[in-house]
Structure 1
Amino acid sequence: MNLVSIRIITGDIKRLVGFYEQVTGVQAAWGNEEFAELRTGQGTLAIGSERTVPLFAPGAARPADNHTAIIEFLVDDVDARYEAVRGIVTDFVNEPTTMPWGNRSLLFRDPDGNLINFFTPVTAEARLRAGATI
């Protein structure tokens, strides 16, 4: 089994896709006006309009209502990314902070309130866990 993607449902797909393109530097691949994907080397962040929910099951997902998941991106330099997104992000949860498990982490929210973690492994153990060579 392979985890292929995480999908966010939103009420404003153009705004949310644009936000993720800006903060990640990844160009979205649009399937149609209701669905886009930001594909990285390890996984895909899919973004769907709330109009796609009834195709699966009416009422099964609600936009801007996530309070349990953290969307995580491994980045080369979390401090540099912090400086790069300061003009884009309006809701920072913290500034870059080194966590007890060896990652330097930046938490912020997207326009729908989803929690995002940009992190860089900074200890040898953390780099090994992440499979990173940085």
Structure 2
Amino acid sequence: MHLDGFGLLVSDMPAMIRFYRDVLGFEIKESEDTENVYLIKDGTLFLLYGRSDFEKMTDHSYEYIKGLNGHSEIALYVDTFDEVDTEYSRITEMGAKSVMPPRTMPWGQRTCYVADPEGNLIEIGSFGKPFER
């Protein structure tokens, strides 16, 4: 098996599209008014599924966390410690909720956390060198 992408089940599709596209720079692959939205970031597929549409498709209902969601995180990497601080300031000014301001951790990473409009955690971090896959 190969990882194809990562998806979130969302209640406010327009707000989530605007956040991931306009604030974090994800590329949208189709019209904003579709039931499932495909976004791309650095070659990785990222999906937003409308909760009610997903429940209809799978014939199941699900429970959803309200508020800050500590079940997963989306990690974004920048090349320098200064970029962690710059991106944190930029995206919180654009509406991301601050969870943890930038800190340099004992293991040498500078990192911070914000939340998207539905409370999903997003980490922005760096080890002070260009990203290596």
| TM-score, structure 1 as length reference | 0.78
Q: Report if aligned partners of 1:105, 1:120 keep a CA contact under 8 Å in 2.
A: yes
Aligned residue number for residue 49 of structure 1: 50
1:82 aligns to what SS in structure 2?
helix
> Among 67, 70, 76, which residue is 2:70 paired with?
67
Aligned residue number for residue 84 of structure 1: 90
Q: Deviations over 1:66-106 (max 9, x none)?
A: 43101111223212212221322342011111222322112
Aligned residue number for residue 93 of structure 1: 99
Correspondences of 1:109-124 after superposition (within 5 Å): 109-122=115-128
Give the gaps of 5 or more residues in structure 2.
Answer: none
Please tell me the residue identity of whatever aligns with 1:45: F
| TM-score, structure 2 as length reference | 0.79
Paired with 1:3 and 1:108, the residues of 2 have a C-alpha distance of: 25
The size of the alignment, in residue pairs, is: 127
Q: Report if aligned partners of 2:24, 2:91 keep a CA contact under 8 Å in 1.
A: no
Please tell me the residue identity of whatever aligns with 2:10: T
Paired with 2:89 and 2:16, the residues of 1 have a C-alpha distance of: 20
Which contiguous aligned blocks of 4+ residues in structure 1 show a shift greater than 3 angstroms?
60-66
Paired with 1:29 and 1:61, the residues of 2 have a C-alpha distance of: 28
Aligned residue number for residue 2 of structure 1: 2
Aligned residue number for residue 23 of structure 2: 23
Please tell me the residue identity of whatever aligns with 1:98: T
User: Which of the two has greater strand per residue?
Assistant: 2
Q: Report if aligned partners of 1:10, 1:64 keep a CA contact under 8 Å in 2.
A: no
Paired with 2:65 and 2:47, the residues of 1 have a C-alpha distance of: 13
Q: Report if aligned partners of 1:11, 1:63 keep a CA contact under 8 Å in 2.
A: no
Give the gaps of 5 or more residues in structure 1.
Answer: none
Please tell me the root mean square deviation across aligned C-alpha atoms, in Å.
2.4
